[in-house]
Amino acid sequence: KGSPAGGCDSSVSDLHKFGVALRAGKLVKPEILAEMWKEQSLPNPVMRYGLGFILGGNDSDRVVGHGGSFPGAYGEFDILLDRNATVIVLSNGHGAGSAHSKARELLARLGRSEESPIKASNP
């Protein structure tokens, strides 16, 4: 029994393994990842989108990820491409903003001054 949009369950450990395998080219060829993590021309003044990922940061401090929510389940997944780090927050309480806020806090501890590219959504 799963929830958020894809209808699956996951854990921080599973999402971390996914991020490591993704970056290592074990799931998608590096040239395809480069396209996925390149900004697409979608008119959105709030977020920059790649293919399946929301983009953040700048040319020397890139972040890709995605977040989402469903009543009672909230998550944030950020890969800091230029720092070899991943921030994953899963929560089942206090609304989607709680996972987003914690991800922003963790990004700040990693030395990122801007917030996560992921925007919290309300269930």
For strands 73-80 and 54-58, give the pairing: unpaired
Where residue 106 falls among pLDDT bands split at 50, 70, 90?
A: confident
Is the pLDDT confidence value at 114 over 90? no
pTM over 0.85: no
Predicted pLDDT at 2:
55
Instruction: Evaluate whether 4 touches 73 at the Cβ level (below 8 Å).
Output: yes
Q: For residue 13, report the phi and psi dihedrals to the nearest 5 degrees.
A: -60, -45
Q: From CA 42, how far away is CA 61, in angstroms rounded?
A: 22
Token pair 């958020």 in the structure block, residue? 4
> At CB < 8 A and 24+ separation, what contacts does 51-54 make?
54/117, 54/118, 54/119
pLDDT band at 123 (very low <50, low <70, confident <90, very high): very low
CB–CB of 75/90 below 8 Å? yes
Total count of residues recorded for the chain: 123
Encode pLDDT of 36-92 as tens digits.
888 887 666 667 888 888 888 777 778 888 887 777 778 889 988 888 888 998 887
Nearest to 85 by CA among 69, 102, 106, 101: 106
pLDDT tens-digit series, residues 20-51:
999 898 999 999 998 888 888 766 666 788 88
| Whole-number pLDDT of residue 121 | 38
